[in-house]
Structures are given as C-alpha cells and as structure tokens.
Amino acid sequence: MSRVAQPNLGQVLSGLLQALLGWAPVRAAQGRLKDWGVTGRMAVTAVPYLWLLVFFLVPFFIVLKISFSSVEIAMPPFAPLIQWANDKVMLIRLNLGNYQFLWEDALYSSALLNSLKMAGVSTIMALLVGYPMAYGIARSSREWRNILLMLVMLPFWTSFLLRVYAWIGLLGINSPINQMLLALGLINEPVSLLQTDWAVYIGIVYSYLPFMVLPLYTAIEKLDGTLLEAAADLGCRPTRTFFSITLPLTKEGIVAGCMLVFIPATGEFVIPALLGGPDSLMIGRVLWEEFFNNRDWPVASAVAILLLLLLVGPIMLYQRAQQAAGGAHR
Amino acid sequence: MANTRPDEKLKPWQDPQAVPYVRIERVTKRFGDFVAVNQVSLDIYQGEAFCLLGASGCGKTTLLRMLAGFEDPSEGRLFIDGQDMTGIPPYERPVNMMFQSYALFPHMSVEDNVAFGLKQDGVPKAERQERVSEMLKLVALDGYGKRRPQQLSGGQRQRVALARSLVKRPKLLLLDEPLGALDKKLRENTQFELINLQEKLGVTFVIVTHDQEEAMTLASRIGVMNHGRILQTGTPSDIYEYPTSKYVADFIGSVNMFEGRLVEDEPDYVRIESPELGGTVYVDHGVSSAPDAKVWVAVRPEKVRLDRERPDQPDNAFGGTVKEIAYLGDVSRYLVALDSGKLVRVTQPNTDRRDDRVTWEERVWVSWSPGANVVVTQ
C-alpha cells in the first residue's frame, strides 16, 4: 500500500509561521521590539493578559463608572460622569448615593445575606454529594472512569436553562415523583417543593455538581494509594484513614470545588427566578430587577460591584491557601 | 557476609524442632489469568532476615503484600506466629511494612509520621513522644522531628520510613526494596545499619529486592523467585556456591555456563563431555541425572585460573585467546575465546602491581579445579 505523506494542519501552520518569521520586515520589527525589551516569550504571555484587559478590566471600569452616576431618563439611562461646562471646565459628578442607598435599604443587605446563605448551603450539599461521586469515579477501573466522567459532564450538552426548567415539572404538584410517592403510600397528599428554598438548593446542586466533582476527582485520583495502605499497615481503620489521610490530602480539590460552586451560586439568577419563591430573594434577582424592571442602571451597577468585592475576599483566601499548599509540597 | 555472623550452632531452618514464625502454605495468587504467585510454601523463623530475590514481575512483591494483608491469596494459607491470617485486615495484623516509595504522609511532620501508628493504638501522649524521640534517635534523625518529609533528603526519608515501621515494635517487618531509591554509596552504608538494627531489636525481616548484592549482604537466607515460584532457598553462600538451577546460577553473580552430556556417571565423580568447551569436564561429586541427559556445568569467573602455560592438571583446562580486558582496579576481567569459539569470563584479583599481565590476543589456558564447578540439570 502506498501512502503519500500528507502534512497535517500543525505542520502547515508551523511552516507558515517559520516563513512569516523569516520574512524581512517581520525580522526587522522583531529586532526593533527586542531593542525595547520585548521578547517572544513576553508576546506569548501577553495574550491572556490582553484578553483579561479587554474583556474583564475594561467592562469592570465601565460598570464602576456607571455605579457612581445617577439615573436619568435618557439613552443610556444614566447621567454621564464627566461633563464639559462651556467646553472649558471639566465637571466630574461623582454620585455616592447609590452605595448609600444600598446601605440604607434593608432589601439589599438581606438579599445579599440570603444569597451567601443559599450559596453556602448548596455548596456544602454539593460537596456532600460530590465527594462520594468523585471518590467512586477515581477508584473505579480505567474503562469505567471515562464513562462515569462523561456521564458527569453529559448534562452540559443540553441548555442550562432547559435543565432548570425541567425541574419545575419534577418538583411541582403533578410531578411523577409526587405521583410515585402517593402510589407508594408514603405521602397522603401531593407536596410541592416549588417556590421554596429547597427547590433552589436542589437546582443549584444539580446544576453545579460537575464543577464540584471534577476538581475533587482530580485531587482524589492524584492521591497516592500506598499512603492509604501505609495507614492501614500502621493500624488505622478505613474510616479513620479517610479523615486523617484522604480528606487532608484532597483539601485542594475540596477548596477548588467549593469555590467553583459558591462563587457562581452567590450571583445566581436563573435558578432562584425559576424555582425559588418570593421570599428566597437572591442578589442576582435583585440585580436583574434593578436593571430591567426599574431601569436603574447605577444602582444595578453598584450591586454588581458590591457582589464582586464580597467575592474577591474568598477568592484571595483561596489563592493564598493554594500558594501555601504549593510551598509546603515542594 | 551474613553467614559468618556469630549465630547459634544449629540454624533454626536446620532444626526440625524449631517452629516457624511465618508459614506460607501452598499459596497461589492470580490476577485474572496471570498467576503472580504459584504454589509457594515457605517457613521463616524468628530473628531471620529473609530475602525474596528475583527480577521484577517474579511475584516477590505480591507475596510480601499478601503477608501485609493488602492482597488475599487465591489459594493456600498464611500463618504469622501460629495464627491463620485468612480474612484478617492489614490494620489488625501484627506486622509492619516499609514501602518502596516510603509512603510518608506529606501533610504531617516527621514526628507525626512516626507517631501515627502509636496514635492508632491509643498510646498515651507522653509515652508516644518518648517512643518517637527514641526511635528518631535510633535512626540518627533527632532534631528533624518538626520537618516535613519533603524537606528531607532521600536517605533521611528512608530512615523516617524505617522509624515509622519500627516504632510499634513489630515482631515481623516487611521491607519492599528498602534501599532501592538510594544511591550506591548511601546504599552500602545503610545496608549495614539495617542489619545492625535488626539484630539489636530482634525483629524478623522479610525483605524483597531485585538487587542480588543487597540480598547477599542483608539476608540470613535467600529465596530466589522466578515466574511466581521459589526456585531455591538457602544461605547466601549456598545459593552462590551451589545453585540448583541454571536460572539461579545465572541470576546470582556472574557465571560461565557450558552445555554438555554425562559420559561417566559414578557416585563420587562424573565426567561431562561438552562440545562447547571442546573437551571433557571432571566434577568431583555425583550428579543425580538420567544417563545421557543434557546437563550444564557452571563455573564462576573468579574460580577460573588464567595461565600462559598449560597447567599441570589432566582435566578442566582449555586453551584460548584473550579477547577483552577490563581493568577495574581491584580486579581485572578477561574475556577469553576458547578454541571452540565459546567465550569464557575470568576474573583475576590484582594482588600486586605486575606489569607482565596477559594482554590482548595472547594465547592462554583457562582452568579450574574439579571442586570449583557445579552441575545443574535444569
């Protein structure tokens, strides 16, 4: 059988790159950049920084700016921060009222506290469900492992909104679950979890479980099995081994999983809106209402900034823990 | 070597009255279709340092793991101190193991690692501290208690692992390639430390290793394993001087092996004709083998003499040419091509600073005494 060697895409691209780098103007520009202290390595690392600058830092400053302005019936519906009087004098009108308003109106602080509570409870629930799952996957045979991981990620292939919507049917009065429980005689009349905090917990745990399972799986899979054998050899029973060896050595995975669930769950909007009741007010929903219903962009922006500041705290703690762990393991 | 130690007159394995501390009874372990350990029976006595020696994949580690309780035998039974170990989990067995990777807990200090086993037994804190510091002193690591395993060198980690496995004062210690991760110099020192410790504490050691030199140094007895079976059990010198099979002769040390056929089979001597050698070999002991059967003559390189003149002996002398010389300082190794074409390895000690040693392409005679060779039939 004769086969003509066909260059693959990677080879073609690297060939093109080589040709491009050899081109005289490119080389000249490269030399110039080098004179300024810019090297190829810097150019490569600059890409993610550039991305963050354009798509995170710039929008952040825009939101920050809006949060300091005041409402106006205009397009866009807020007063500009900087105005020119007589085209000569620059006027900066910094409005701190939005933040004061958030502070004074109990609605926002209670919504924020409620969000933290809801996110915290669902994170713990996700951890309790996710850890055994991740452990089971990490300890299963190689063929099974991939299938199980695939099953964990499978829900991502359908729309998030659709999946949350499906829970309305599962939690309502006429749900198949209720009918089954009735038929079994476990309950006398149908119960609805819809519009309760429990529905929101279920929704969050269900939606964010993969974010908990995957880092946990990575941590547990990395755990050296001989350490568990060593513990057993030294007279440690399996349950104690779990708490004194397995749990502390998978701490990084636990922290990562909890962060990945807690942070988005705090600002979650769709799940409380679809499954939660009127009393399970979460900050995401408040933000939505300010933005779309009240068209109060400045207050909505202030809420967003506040939420961000609140979440930066745990993120920084997490980073520090990671660094400390990295230092200890070296 | 280990057999020169001042032991009692009768070695426990020679004493029919002695009760073995570990008894392995026709143990087989299968993983799917693969037979890792095949019908192994073995008795190990109190105070021994028993070495399971073999190439990787020979089943030695599986056998050790069955003693520790990490694997269950597919067939057969294990007894430790007279107690049947079937169904007893590792955490209830009176043994401790030193792992090849050391398996130190990375999130605990050296002290906590060593104290871990005592904590499981509910030893009170004061006694725990005392025993841990005593153990760390024994392995020359006092002052390192607060460090993390990652902050120690390989040799130090090895000693922490040893301290951790000895702190519970086990009667039986299992060691999986205990010195495998150390460099050569450190290994040699540690070998003697390990043996001193073993004698001092009176612990029975079962050591798994693929390094024959390590086995020779550490062991009171060696069990050579291949394909899940124990081929030969004996003291290091038994194994080296009287191998019972080609595999053992070849695995332990270096050996010249000549294929041949029995032509004279008497109770006190045999004569073997070997076309490979281009002559006959005289052996001063009887061989139990079918007449005319294929046999092999094994001669160690250091037992072969090298002369320019034909030595004054009727048998076991063959002419050849020097092909290779490796000068190693203490000894020189020669590769001699016999007239039949067979290559013979010869090791000669460099006892004086002669300049007239044989050289490349020189005509020489290789010879050995009738008691220097061993005949193996399988």
Cβ neighbors of A84 (< 8 A, separation 6 or more) are A90, A91
Contact A203, A271 (CB under 8 A): yes
In chain A, the residue whose alpha carbon lies closest to the alpha carbon of B105 is A227
Look at residue A215 and give its three-state secondary structure.
Answer: helix
Residues from chain A contacting residue B97 (CB–CB below 8 Å): 229-230, 233
Contact B90 A233 (CB under 8 A): yes
Question: Which domains are seen in chain A, by residue range?
Answer: 97-329 (1.10.3720.10)
Give the domain B254-376 fold: OB fold (Dihydrolipoamide Acetyltransferase, E2P) (2.40.50)
For residue A118, give both structure tokens: 């809801």
In chain A, the residue whose alpha carbon lies closest to the alpha carbon of B147 is A328
Count contacts between A and B (CB, < 8 Å).
65
Residues from chain B contacting residue A233 (CB–CB below 8 Å): 68-69, 90-91, 95-97, 165
Residue A4's pLDDT band, with cuts at 50, 70 and 90, is low
Give CA angle at B248 (B247, B249), nearest 5°. 95
Contact B103 A236 (CB under 8 A): no
A146 backbone dihedrals φ, ψ, rounded to 5°: -65, -40
Q: Would strands B221-226 and B229-234 be described as parallel, antiparallel, or unpaired?
A: antiparallel
* pLDDT, tens digit, 9 for 90 and up, residues A18-45: 887 777 787 887 777 777 777 777 778 8
Nearest to A328 among B103, B148, B168 (CB): B148
For residue A275, give both structure tokens: 């499954």
Give the global pTM: 0.79
CATH 3.40.50.300 in chain B: give the residue spans: 2-94+170-246
Query: Along chain B (378 residues), what's the average pLDDT of each consecutive run of 10 residues?
Result: 50 82 94 93 93 92 95 94 92 94 95 95 94 92 92 92 92 90 80 86 92 89 94 93 90 90 84 86 79 84 90 86 90 91 90 78 90 83
* pLDDT, tens digit, 9 for 90 and up, residues A164-223: 999 998 888 888 888 888 888 888 888 888 888 899 999 999 999 999 999 999 999 999
Domain B2-94+170-246, CATH: 3.40.50.300
CATH 2.40.50.100 in chain B: give the residue spans: 254-376
Nearest CA to B230 out of B50, B88, B371 is that of B50
Sequence-ordered strand ranges (E) for B166-252: 172-176, 204-209, 221-226, 229-234
